[in-house]
Amino acid sequence: MKRSRLIILAILAALVIIQFIGVDKTNPPVEASKEFMTLTNPPAEIASMLKASCYDCHSHETVYPWYFNVAPLNFWLKGHVRNGVKRLNYSAWGDYEPKKAAHKLEECYEMIEENHMPPKSYKWMHPEAKLSEADKAALIAWLKEQEAAIRAKL
């Protein structure tokens, strides 16, 4: 057999084998008493924007899409969820000290203002996560209000 054909076969075999590794798709339980929405009670449109644009990577309510079953894509996507939730976890909002919570809120609107979040690659696959200019303005204003309310009590 030609060497190039062997290499292609080896790559295909490797792709088949990594399909069996699998990544964990279970969500840790969500405690309502620590959950961002329970604690901040946002208007419905703000809540649905955050859920659609941020919660897959920044909470324990990740919805794993069908292509999450395809390796090596799933390793890369799981990395997003793991890193995202480590930096900002709406499911553990109640664990943040007020000063940290205020700082996280500030980071949230900065990320939205600068179009860093939600990430571009995420928006390709989740058109519903895209925020219009009006959406962004509403979200940023609400996040700033929350931050100011916390800082006023510091």
What residues line the site for ligand HEC (CB under 6 A)?
Answer: 53-54, 56-58, 80, 83-84, 87-88, 107-108, 111-112, 117-119, 122
Shortest distance, position 107 Cβ to ligand HEC, whole Å: 4
Shortest distance, position 18 Cβ to ligand HEC, whole Å: 21
Pick 17 or 121: Cβ nearer ligand HEC: 121
Distance (Å, whole) CA 114 – CA 106: 12
Tell me if 43 sits within 8 A of 138, measured CB to CB. Answer: no
Answer positive or negative: Cα dihedral of 143, 148, 149, 150: positive
Shortest distance, position 1 Cβ to ligand HEC, whole Å: 42
Shortest distance, position 122 Cβ to ligand HEC, whole Å: 4
Pick 71 or 109: Cβ nearer ligand HEC: 109
Token pair of 106, please? 């500030």
Pick 13 or 133: Cβ nearer ligand HEC: 133
Shortest distance, position 90 Cβ to ligand HEC, whole Å: 9
Distance (Å, whole) CA 78 – CA 81: 5
Pick 18 or 111: Cβ nearer ligand HEC: 111
Pick 25 or 87: Cβ nearer ligand HEC: 87
Computed on alpha carbons and rounded to an integer, the radius of gyration of the chain in Å comes to: 19
Residue 23 buriedness (CB in 10 A; 0-12 / 13-18 / 19+) = middle
Angle at 114 between CA 62 and CA 150, to 5 degrees: 70
